[in-house]
Structure 1
Amino acid sequence: MFMSAIARPRYSEDGTCTFDGKIGIFPFIIEEPAVRASKNRAWGVIQMKPIESITKTVIKACLLEKIIPSIMAEWPSGCDKHIVVQQDNASPHINDNDLDFVDVAQSDGFNITLANQPANSPDLNINDLGFFRIIQGLQHEKRLKRFVKILKLGGNNNYKLPHIKKGKLARRGQLPNVLTAPLDIVEKALDKAINGQSI
């Protein structure tokens, strides 16, 4: 299992990319010496093993020791240092008011906070829309290209994805890069969000 961290790319006024948004990919592994020799390795050679159970303690350690320091190291100078780290709604994730997190996240002039993704849907996760979309061709998986169904159901996960003939559009070079939605549906969803309802 891996945890990835990406951000919105930044561009200068002339259109030059000044920050590509890549923070890092962090595997959940432990390194320990081999207990016995084998045909593949000698005794005592350091080997990587996956962490079998991803708990709140493991997530917290990854966040505090790897992700937050990487954000601070990679963050472009001159950009606002108030950063919101969006995480999904998995139970091992820590809360924004964790004292150890606050201590690390408020150092060196940064103000880093945590927020859960708006709806409990993997289709709205930034990694699914950004990072995993890039490697989608290698995995031969289909991802959501339109979110109108989610808006129509008020944020419910019981939607059925419409067929948009993605493969055919991709072969023609006509696959859309921008998601669109009817204005009335967007306005209804915004009204629900403003009134504190689930979207």
Structure 2
Amino acid sequence: MENIIHVDEKWFYMKKQSEKYYLLPDEDEPLRTCKSKTFITKVMFLAAVTRPRFDESGNELFSGKIGIFPFINKEPARRSSKNRSAGTMETKTINSINKEIYRSYIIEKLLPAIRDKWPRIDAGSPIFIQQDNAKPHIGLDDEYFQSNATKDGFDIRLICQPPNSPDMNVLDLGFFNAIQGLQYQQAPNSIDALIEAVQKSFDEYLPTKLNHTFLTLQSCMISILKARGSNKYKVPHMKKYSLERQNCLPKQLDVDPALIGEAIAQCQ
């Protein structure tokens, strides 16, 4: 896992439709406004992480956080307003991601970040970028990518995760939800503030917690192996254990009973 970089896109919203607050008896309720509850301001980000590394004493050697990049453009304002004059550069979101945009972000942002942050001791070993099978993603044999992936002595390659298997992506397993929870605590009120909040949440997220998410990924891999390659975790009915709550068990009707017994032992 230490040489596999997980990449994926994620929409980050400026605020949720409803939030809970703990207020003192004499404290006023916070005022939250937006133009439309249906179309809340959001920005798409491309995130890339790999498994952190620690020494025998638990000291951090490599955080595993490659980077998080917003899909945005800078455009001059067409009209003047009370907040800025015409011609002022504004941040605009890119709402439609195609293959050309995705390729440019991988080559111009992700690859330089990998070369900058990757541990030099493994710089010559193969590094795999795992992406899902979304249509805007580039092919494994993309010539433009391959011509840029071998610069400075690096050997960076593309691979695709199994189709319809979000459990094989550490970002979907928990990392995105974690940094989104941190981002909501900062209450941004503009696109630039939202980008800053997401970047701050990404930077402050502890590598030890990221490593725990990779341990969850390992558990998913074990369960998939026990389910004989299926990601439809369905287990037969058992009297002693509530299988709906035993999420670590392989939910497959034709699983060997001996494997189920081993899984139960691990859950206890």
TM superposition score normalised by structure 2: 0.54
Query: Counterpart in 1 of 2:137?
Result: 93
Give 3-state SS (helix, strand or coil) of 1:84's partner: strand
Selected match of 1:33 from 66, 76, 81: 76
CA contact (8 A) 1:59 1:93 kept: yes
* Mapping 1:38-187, distance limit 5 Å: 38-81=81-124, 82-135=126-179, 147=220, 148=223, 152=227, 154-156=229-231, 163-164=244-245, 184=259
| CA–CA distance in structure 2, aligned partners of residues 104 and 75 of structure 1 | 16
Runs of at least 5 residues in structure 2 that lack an aligned partner in the other structure: 1-43, 185-215, 236-242, 251-256, 261-268
Corresponding residue for residue 15 of structure 1: 58
Counterpart amino acid of residue 141 in structure 2: N
Q: 1:55 to 1:150 in 2, by over 3 A?
A: farther
Q: May I ask how many residue pairs the two structures share in their alignment?
A: 169
Shift in Å, 1:53: 1.2
Change (3 A) 1:153 1:78: closer
Residue 59 of structure 1: CA displacement? 0.3
Q: Where in structure 1 are there 5+ consecutive unaligned residues? A: 167-178, 186-199
Distance 1:137 1:33, change over 3 A: closer
**Higher deviation after alignment, 124-133 or 102-111:** 124-133
Residue 230 of structure 2 aligns to which amino acid in structure 1?
Answer: G
Q: CA deviation at 1:165?
A: 8.9
User: In 2, distance between residues paired with 1:127 and 1:109?
Assistant: 28
- The AA in structure 1 aligned to 2:100 is T
Which structure's relative contact order is higher, taking Cα pairs within 8 Å and 6+ residues apart? 2
Distance 1:149 1:69 in 2: 34
Q: Tell me how far apart the structure 2 counterparts of residues 183 and 112 of structure 1 sit (CA, whole Å).
A: 41
Residue type at the aligned position of 1:45: T
CA distance in structure 1 between the partners assigned to 2:225 and 2:177 by the alignment:
19
**Structure 1 counterpart of 2:176, which letter?**
F
Q: Equivalent residue of 1:135, what SS?
A: helix
Quote the Cα distance in structure 1 between the aligned partners of 2:81 and 2:67: 33
The one-character-per-residue Cα deviations of 1:37-58 (angstroms, maximum 9, x if unpaired) are: 1112111111111112100001
1:4 aligned residue: 47
Structure 2 counterpart SS, 1:31? strand
Distance 1:155 1:119 in 2: 11
| Structure with greater Cα Rg | 2
